[in-house]
Structure 1
Amino acid sequence: MNDHQWFAEQLALHRPRLRAVAYRLLGSMTEADDALQEAWLRTTRADRAAVSNPAAWLTTLVGRVCIDMLRARHARPEQLTGSWEPLISEHGNPEDASLHADAVGIALLVVLDSLEPAERLAVVLHDMFGVPFDQVAAVLGRTPAATRQLASRARRRLREQSPPSQAGLPAQRRVVDAFLAAARTGNFDALLALLDPDVVFRSDHGRRVRRAPALLTGIHAVAARAAEAGPRFARLCAPALINGAAGVVARDLGGKTVAVIGFTFRDDRIATIDMILDPDKLPSEPTAKSR
Structure 2
Amino acid sequence: MALTMDDVDRFEASRPRLEAIAYRLLGSASEAEDAVQETYLRWQAADPGRIEVPEAWLTKVLTNLCLNQLTSARARRETYVGQWLPDGDPMLGPADTAEQRESVSYAVLVLLERLSPNERAVYVLREAFDYPHREIAEILDISEASSQQIFHRARKHVADGKVRTEVDETAARRIIDEFLTAATSGRTEPLVKLLTQDAVSIGDGGGKVPARAKAFEGALAVAKFMRGLFKPSKAKRALVGGSPEVYATTANGDPAIVAVVDGRVVGVTCLEVTPEGIAAFRSQVNPDKLDRVTRRWAAADHGEPLLRGAF
Q: Specify the code of the residue in structure 2 equivalent to 1:134.
A: R
Which residues of 2 match residues 113-124 of structure 1 at below 5 A? Answer: 113-124=113-124
| CA offset digits 1:149-188 (Å, max 9, x no partner) | 2222211110111242334442232111111122122232
Q: Specify the code of the residue in structure 2 equivalent to 1:65.
A: L
Matched residue count = 282
Q: Please report how far the alpha carbon of residue 228 of structure 1 lies from its aligned counterpart in structure 2 after TM superposition.
A: 2.0
1:236–1:250 CA contact under 8 A, matched in 2:
yes
Give the match's secondary structure for 1:214.
coil
Q: Please report how far the alpha carbon of residue 144 of structure 1 lies from its aligned counterpart in structure 2 after TM superposition.
A: 2.0
Match of 2:250 in 1: 241
Give the Cα–Cα distance (whole angstroms) in 2 for the partners of residues 99 and 212 of structure 1.
35
Match of 1:144 in 2: 144
Q: TM-score, normalised by structure 2?
A: 0.80
Match of 2:110 in 1: 110
Moved more, 32-41 or 185-194: 185-194
Match of 2:239 in 1: none
Q: Specify the code of the residue in structure 2 equivalent to 1:247.
A: A
Match of 2:307 in 1: none
Are 1:48 and 2:48 matched, yes or no?
A: yes
Distance 1:214 1:240, change over 3 A: farther
Q: TM-score, normalised by structure 1?
A: 0.85
Q: Please report how far the alpha carbon of residue 25 of structure 1 lies from its aligned counterpart in structure 2 after TM superposition.
A: 0.9
Q: Specify the code of the residue in structure 1 equivalent to 2:125.
A: L
Distance 1:75 1:6, change over 3 A: farther
In structure 1, list runs of 5 or more residues that go unmatched: 89-95
Match of 2:80 in 1: 79
In structure 2, list runs of 5 or more residues that go unmatched: 237-242, 304-311
Match for 2:284 among 270, 276, 286?
276
Match for 1:290 among 278, 285, 302?
302
Q: Identity of aligned pairs, percent?
A: 30
Match of 1:125 in 2: 125
Give the Cα–Cα distance (whole angstroms) in 1 for the partners of residues 18 and 208 of structure 2.
31
Q: Specify the code of the residue in structure 2 equivalent to 1:279.
A: P
2:48–2:54 CA contact under 8 A, matched in 1:
no
Distance 1:38 1:131, change over 3 A: same
Give the match's secondary structure for 2:147.
helix
Give the Cα–Cα distance (whole angstroms) in 2 for the partners of residues 239 and 138 of structure 1.
43
2:266–2:290 CA contact under 8 A, matched in 1:
yes
